[in-house]
Amino acid sequence: MVQYANAGLDASFAALSDATRRGVLEQLGRAEASITDLAEKFNMTLTGMKKHVGVLERAGLVSTEKVGRVRTCKIGPRRLEEEMAWLERYRQLWDARFDELDKVVEELKRKEQVDGRKKRE
């Protein structure tokens, strides 16, 4: 089995794989929020939200700051450029494959039309 050593990509995609965490990122994209505010917004316990924020924080997607008893979350320093580059490589690969598939389908349609004409004659 091939093993890839890119912990950053793994952490990012693992963090983004959960709908709640994607929602947290969307929320923080609009405004900073405390973990308490996020927990209320997503109808979840503080402990549950702290775990979600921790995953996002380890991936560099969220940063937190504790002032007194309040931990405030904001969008982190990572811009997902490496992830976008990885996705772009695969998008280009799939685009090329679909373009080739379109050519095959068009050729089959053309042959089908020609064969249909021959049968009628």
- What pLDDT, on the 0 to 100 scale, is given for residue 80? 84
CA pair distance 12, 6, nearest whole angstrom = 10
- What pLDDT, on the 0 to 100 scale, is given for residue 7? 79
The model's pTM: 0.73
- What pLDDT, on the 0 to 100 scale, is given for residue 82? 87
Three-class SS of residue 63? strand
- What pLDDT, on the 0 to 100 scale, is given for residue 59? 92
Q: What is the chain's mean pLDDT, rounded?
A: 89
DSSP H or E segment with residue 54: helix 46-58
CA pair distance 19, 109, nearest whole angstrom = 42
Q: Could you say which residues of the chain have pLDDT below 70?
A: 1-5, 117-121
- What pLDDT, on the 0 to 100 scale, is given for residue 110? 87
CA pair distance 11, 60, nearest whole angstrom = 9
